[in-house]
């Protein structure tokens, strides 16, 4: 059971996939830079490789690089696996910069504005601070704070990363909601660290449409298919009763 609705004070948002459409932003740039490739598959492969390298950072097998460096290293690792694909070092730098201009899902900004009327709303992400600031400004999304794991004691999904958010915001973990579209990779670790959790579905995160997939877990504070419903669930205590 989660706490009473009015006990929550803050929301920490994952943004890569949850707020920003990384695939829809990156894949067209890949298609322009590497014509003839399956740009969608390459983009997903690129992101998986970045997280593989991030796991090495977390394990102490790589220096504590931020996501900008990891995306660039991941691109170096991927290129030899695609015969016939070639980019100069400068072209790879230019392509990797796409992670600084991520487009937001069109329904996200309005919902985040509504949530900020009731909560302290911040970012908690493995993406670099630079990437989130630039992408948020372009999307006209205002946050109360941006917590990039590059400045925190650990990277998500380590417990220390989740616990850092309420500590820096100034409230208890149980008063903080972790919001994400990743149930197992983000929300479950957050709950194990003592935070509450809210799920918003993003069925186009990896490019190919899929059926909406709500986890259906009653211990989530909110669970929605779109941001309008998500914001209503977290700002109106009577909304779910009337639905």
| Predicted pLDDT of residue 3 | 53
Alpha-carbon distance of 167 to 18, in angstroms, equals 23
Beta bridge partners of 125: 148
Question: Over pLDDT 70: what percentage of the chain?
Answer: 96
- Of 3.90.470.20, 3.30.70.360, 3.40.50.300, 3.40.50.1000, the CATH number of 5-21+102-242 is 3.40.50.1000
Q: Alpha carbon 33 to chain centroid distance? A: 25
Whether the CB-CB separation of 45 and 38 falls below 8 Å is answered with no
- 12: helix, strand or coil: strand
List where CATH 3.40.50.1000 sits in the chain.
5-21+102-242
102 and 163 Cβ atoms separated by less than 8 Å:
no
Question: How far is 1 from 198, CA to CA, in rounded Å?
Answer: 13
Q: State the pTM of this model.
A: 0.94
CB 135 within 8 A of CB 101: yes
Instruction: Give yes or no for a contact between 68 and 131, defined as CB atoms under 8 angstroms apart.
Output: yes
CB 141 within 8 A of CB 108: yes
Distance of alpha carbon 233 from alpha carbon 243, whole angstroms:
10
Q: Name the segment(s) of the chain with CATH classification 1.10.150.240.
A: 22-100
Question: Domain 22-100 sits in which CATH superfamily?
Answer: Putative phosphatase; domain 2 (1.10.150.240)
pLDDT at 175: 97
Which residues, including other chains, have CB under 8 Å from residue 81's CB and lie 6 or more apart?
45
pLDDT on residue 241: 54
Distance CA 188, CA 191 (A): 5
Query: Please, what is the Cα angle at 124 between 191 and 212, to 5 degrees?
Result: 65
Q: What beta strand segments (E) does the chain contain? A: 10-13, 120-125, 145-148, 176-180, 196-200, 222-224
Long-range contacts of 232-240 (CB under 8 A, 24+ apart): 233/198, 234/11, 234/115, 234/118, 234/119, 234/177, 234/198, 235/114, 235/115, 235/117, 235/118, 237/5, 237/6
pLDDT at position 1, please? 42
Predicted confidence at residue 4, as pLDDT, reads 56
Low-confidence spans in the chain with pLDDT less than 50: 1-2, 243
Q: Coil, strand or helix: which one is 185?
A: helix
């Amino acid at each position: 059971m989660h706490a009473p609705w009015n006990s929550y004070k803050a929301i920490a948002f994952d943004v890569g996939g949850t707020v920003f459409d990384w695939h829809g932003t990156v894949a067209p740039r890949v298609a322009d830079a590497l014509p003839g490739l399956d740009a969608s598959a390459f983009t997903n492969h690129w992101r998986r490789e970045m997280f593989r390298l991030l796991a090495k950072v977390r394990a102490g097998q790589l220096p504590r690089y931020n996501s900008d460096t990891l995306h660039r290293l991941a691109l170096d690792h991927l290129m030899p696996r695609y015969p016939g694909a070639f980019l100069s070092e400068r072209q790879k730098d230019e392509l990797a910069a796409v992670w600084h201009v991520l487009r937001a899902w069109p329904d996200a900004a309005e919902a985040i504005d509504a949530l900020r009327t009731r909560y302290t709303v911040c970012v908690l992400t493995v993406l670099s601070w630079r990437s989130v600031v630039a992408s948020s400004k372009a999307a006209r999304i205002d946050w109360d704070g941006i917590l990039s794991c590059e400045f925190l004691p650990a990277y998500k999904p380590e417990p220390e990363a989740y616990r850092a958010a309420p500590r820096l915001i100034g409230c208890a973990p149980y008063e903080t909601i972790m919001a994400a579209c990743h149930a197992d990779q983000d929300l479950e670790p957050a709950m194990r660290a003592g935070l509450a959790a809210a799920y918003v579905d993003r069925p186009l995160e990896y490019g190919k449409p899929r059926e909406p997939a709500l986890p259906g877990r009653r211990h989530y504070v909110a669970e929605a298919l779109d941001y309008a419903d998500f914001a209503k669930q977290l700002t109106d205590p009577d909304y779910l009763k009337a639905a």
